[in-house]
Structure 1
Amino acid sequence: MSDQDWSAPPGAPPGPMPDGSIPLYASYPLPGTPGGGPALPQVGWGPELGGDRFRHGGPPRKRRTGLLAGLLLLGGVGALVLISAVALRESSAPTVAPSYGPGVAPTSATATPTAPDDSSSGTPGVPGASQRNAAIVQTDGFYRSGVQKTVNCREPQIPLATAAAVQGYYANLIGCLNRAWTPLVRAGQDEYAAPRVIFWAGTVQSPCTSSSPTSFYCAANRTLYLKYEDDIKLWNRAGDAANRSFSRMWASYTAGHEFGHHLQQLAGILPAAAQLEYDAPDQDARLEVSRRIELQASCLGAAFLGANQASYGITGLDLTIYRRYVEAQTGDENNRGGPRDHGARVSHQYWTARGFNTVNSANCNTFTASASKVS
Structure 2
Amino acid sequence: MSGDLGFGGADAASRLAHSRRAHRTNRRVFGVVCGLLVVLLALSLLSWTTTVQEGGPDTDTVSGRADGTGDEKPGQEHPVEDTPSGQLGLPGRALPERPTGHTALVSNPLYDTGRLSPLPCPVPELDVEDPDSMERFLHLVADCLDDAWTTQFDRAGIPFAPPNRVFWSEPGVSPCRAYPSPAGAFYCRASSAIYIGTSDVVEKWNGSEDSVVYASLLAHEYGHHVQGESGLLEYYHEQRQLEEDDAGRNAWTRRSELQANCLAGAFLGSVRVSYPLDSGDLEALLEDASATADRADGPDEERTHGSADNSVWWTRAGWEEQSAGACNTWDVDDGDLVK
Task: Provide TM-score, normalisation by structure 1.
Answer: 0.64
Which of residues 229, 246, 262 is equivalent to 2:199?
229
- Deviation of 1:286 after TM superposition, in Å, equals 1.1
Instruction: Report what 2:165 is aligned to.
Output: 197
Deviation at 1:244, TM superposition (A): 2.1
Which residue, out of 313, 319, 326, partners 2:282? 319
1:164: Cα distance to partner?
A: 0.8
Inter-partner Cα distance in structure 1 for 2:318 and 2:161: 22
Aligned equivalent of 2:72 = 47
Structure with higher Rg: it is: 2
Q: 1:362 aligns with which of 325, 331, 335?
A: 325
Residues 347 and 373 of structure 1 are in contact (CA less than 8 Å); yes or no, is this contact kept in structure 2? yes
Q: Compared with structure 1, are the counterparts of its residues 352 and 44 closer, same or farther at alpha carbon in structure 2 (3 Å cutoff)?
A: farther
- TM-score for both structures, normalised by structure 2: 0.71
Contact between 1:173 and 1:252, CA under 8 Å: does it hold in 2? yes
Structure 1 residue 233: Cα displacement: 3.3
Equivalent residue number for residue 52 of structure 2: none
Q: Give the distance between the partners of 1:236 and 1:168, measured in 2 at CA.
A: 20
Q: Distance in 2 between matches of 1:161 and 1:231?
A: 11
1:157 aligns with 2:125: yes
Match of 2:295 among 318, 328, 333: 333
Q: Which runs of 5+ in 1 are unaligned?
A: 1-39, 50-54, 68-95, 100-131, 238-242
2:176 is equivalent to residue 208 of structure 1? yes
Q: Alignment partner of 1:224: what SS? A: strand
Judge conservation of contact 2:254–2:304 (CA < 8 Å) in 1: yes
- Higher fraction of helix: 2
Q: C-alpha distance in 2, partners of 1:223/1:134?
A: 25
- What is the aligned partner in structure 2 of residue 24 from structure 1? none
Give the secondary-structure state (helix, strand or coil) at the position aligned to 2:172: coil
Distance 1:207 1:44 in 2: 23
Which residue of the other structure, out of 195, 206, 209, is the alignment partner of 1:244? 209
Equivalent positions of 1:1-375 (< 5 A) are: 41-42=66-67, 46-49=71-74, 55=75, 57-61=76-80, 63=81, 65=83, 97-99=97-99, 133-201=101-169, 203-210=171-178, 212-213=181-182, 214-233=184-203, 237=207, 243-245=208-210, 248-323=211-286, 325-333=287-295, 336-337=298-299, 339-369=302-332, 370-375=334-339
| Identity rate, percent | 25
Alpha carbons of 1:44 and 1:181: their partners in 2 closer, same or farther (altered >3 Å)?
farther
Residue identity opposite 2:312 in structure 1? Q
Partner-residue secondary structure (3-state), 1:311: coil
Asked if structure 2 preserves the Cα contact closer than 8 Å seen for 1:166 and 1:231, the reply is no
Counterpart of 1:259, as a letter, is: Y
C-alpha distance in structure 2 between counterparts of 1:186 and 1:310, whole Å: 24
Separation (CA, whole Å) in 1 of partners of 2:242 and 2:153? 27
Secondary structure at the aligned position of 1:368 is classed as coil
Which amino acid in the other structure matches residue 361 of structure 1?
A
Aligned mates of 2:303, 2:125 — CA distance in 1: 36
Q: Give the 3-state SS of the residue equivalent to 1:332 in structure 2.
A: coil
Distance 1:133 1:154 in 2: 38
Instruction: Identify which range, 359-368 or 40-49, moves more after superposition.
Output: 40-49
Aligned partner letter, 2:229: L
Q: How many residues align?
A: 262
Name the SS of the counterpart of 2:167 in structure 1: strand
Q: Structure 1's 349 and 157: CA in aligned 2 closer, same or farther, altered over 3 A?
A: same
**TM-superposition CA deviations, 1:120-153 (whole Å, max 9, x none):** xxxxxxxxxxxx6222211121111211124211
Answer yes or no: is the 8 Å Cα contact 2:66–2:305 preserved in 1: no
Q: Is the CA contact (8 Å cut-off) linking 1:163 and 1:232 kept in structure 2?
A: no
- 1:179–1:44 Cα change, 3 Å: farther
Q: Which AA in structure 2 matches 1:216?
A: F
* Residues 350/192 of structure 1: CA separation in 2 closer, same or farther (3 Å cut): same
- Asked if 2 retains the 8 angstrom alpha-carbon contact of 1:151 and 1:179, the reply is yes
Secondary structure (helix, strand or coil) at the match of 2:235 reads: helix
Q: Post-superposition shift, 1:279?
A: 1.5
Q: Give secondary structure in 1 for the equivalent of 2:115.
A: coil
Asked if 1 retains the 8 angstrom alpha-carbon contact of 2:118 and 2:270, the reply is yes
Cα displacement string for residues 184-205 of structure 1 (whole angstroms, at most 9, x for unaligned residues): 0122221121111001146331
For residues 177 and 343 of structure 1, the distance between their equivalents in structure 2, rounded to whole angstroms, comes to 24
Cα 1:249–1:198 change in 2 (3 A) is same
- Following the alignment from structure 1 to structure 2, what is the Cα–Cα distance between the partners of residues 220 and 141? 24
